[in-house]
């Protein structure tokens, strides 16, 4: 299944994409695509529905973040060897873990805000992993059974705030609009192997990132198991699993986003996103 949330910001309704690509409304079946509905029983009930019995979503309706009520966005840094190399950094021996504040979550095609004074706004196409069942001290052999599905994620990063300001990376990762999710949450049975997902990103029509989850340093099962040693992952938590090479910081000289730029990104089975960069209304 491909599950969506559609409607105005803060008032999204649940839906799904049928076999023909038509968005269908699920609001008569459940309240939201959110922690309470991500477990195996709820997913099985949705899978048993006939999508053609559901009303279509009106054409042109905005798509919101594909998961609501997210409690935590957990980022993994330098998780592609070729990305670590372009950053001039050593491949980590253990996953590098950071947070993005949940207020950064945005719809897949919503505008991305350029923070006031920002000179180093960067892009990062990633595979997002959405937890469906509480995961605490789970082994790698059981880790994927705790995953509700996968989504496309743009880990937009302000590099000066991330690297040049002392302290945690969270400061460079958490500005509002800097975590577009979607367009849909695809269930594991439909995506197939999460370690065989091609990812790409373009800026103003020019390809900047090409990669595959095949080259992850730590795969999805390893990440879920590893994180569950240090925290009890909850339904609705999102793991941003890292980005392949081609980020702006890695170019010589570096390339960064400015107002008016357009990012387009996608992944095998994950759909596509499109974001216009605009000056932050806080500016």
Q: In this predicted structure, what is the pLDDT of residue 283?
A: 61
> CA 193 → CA 71, 121, 150, 199, 220, distances in Å?
26, 32, 11, 14, 10
Q: Which residues lie across from 212 on neighbouring strands?
A: 198
Q: In this predicted structure, what is the pLDDT of residue 282?
A: 74
Beta-carbon count within 10 A of 7 CB = 18
Helices (H), the chain: 40-47, 81-86, 140-143, 159, 188-191, 220-227
Q: Would you give the distance in Å from CA 269 to the centre of its chain?
A: 13
Instruction: Please state the domain extents for the chain.
Output: 67-279
Q: In this predicted structure, what is the pLDDT of residue 272?
A: 98
Q: For residues 124 and 140, what is the distance between their CA atoms, to the nearest angstrom?
A: 26
Q: Which CATH number fits domain 67-279: 3.20.20.150, 3.60.40.10, 3.90.850.10, 1.20.1260.10?
A: 3.90.850.10
Helix%, strand%, coil% for the chain, nearest 5: 20, 30, 50
Q: In this predicted structure, what is the pLDDT of residue 86?
A: 78
Please state the pTM of the whole predicted model.
Answer: 0.97
Q: Are 30 and 208 in contact (CB under 8 A)?
A: no
DSSP per-residue codes, 28-49: TT-S-SSGGG-SHHHHHHHHTS
Q: In this predicted structure, what is the pLDDT of residue 240?
A: 98
Which of 150, 155, 137, 165 is closest to 98 using CA atoms?
A: 155
Q: In this predicted structure, what is the pLDDT of residue 117?
A: 93
Q: Are 112 and 263 in contact (CB under 8 A)?
A: yes
Listed as ranges, residues in the chain with pLDDT below 70 are 283
């Amino acid at each position: 299944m491909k599950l969506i949330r559609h409607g105005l910001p803060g008032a999204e309704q649940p839906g799904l994409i049928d076999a023909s690509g038509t968005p269908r409304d699920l609001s008569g079946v459940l309240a939201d695509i959110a922690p309470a509905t991500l477990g195996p029983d709820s997913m099985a009930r949705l899978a048993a529905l006939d999508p053609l019995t559901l009303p279509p979503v009106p054409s042109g309706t905005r798509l919101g973040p594909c998961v609501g009520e997210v409690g935590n966005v957990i980022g993994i840094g330098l998780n592609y060897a070729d990305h670590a190399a372009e950053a001039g950094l050593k491949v980590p021996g253990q996953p590098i873990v950071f947070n993005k504040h949940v207020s950064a979550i945005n719809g897949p095609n919503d505008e991305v805000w350029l923070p006031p004074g920002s000179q180093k706004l960067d892009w990062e196409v990633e595979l997002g992993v959405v937890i469906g069942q509480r995961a605490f001290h789970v082994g790698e052999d059981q880790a994927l059974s705790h995953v509700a599905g996968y989504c496309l994620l743009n880990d937009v990063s302000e590099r000066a705030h991330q690297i040049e300001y002392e302290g945690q990376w969270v400061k460079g990762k958490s500005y509002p609009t800097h975590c577009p999710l979607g367009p849909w949450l695809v269930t594991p049975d439909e995506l197939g192997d999460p370690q065989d997902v091609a990812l790409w990103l373009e800026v103003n029509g020019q390809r900047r990132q090409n990669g595959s989850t095949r080259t992850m340093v730590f795969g999805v099962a390893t990440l879920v198991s590893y994180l569950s040693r240090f925290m009890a992952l909850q339904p609705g938590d999102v793991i941003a699993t890292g980005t392949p090479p081609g980020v702006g910081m890695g170019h010589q000289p570096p390339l960064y986003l400015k107002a008016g730029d357009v990012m387009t990104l996608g992944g095998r089975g994950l759909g596509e996103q499109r974001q216009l960069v605009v000056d932050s209304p806080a500016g």
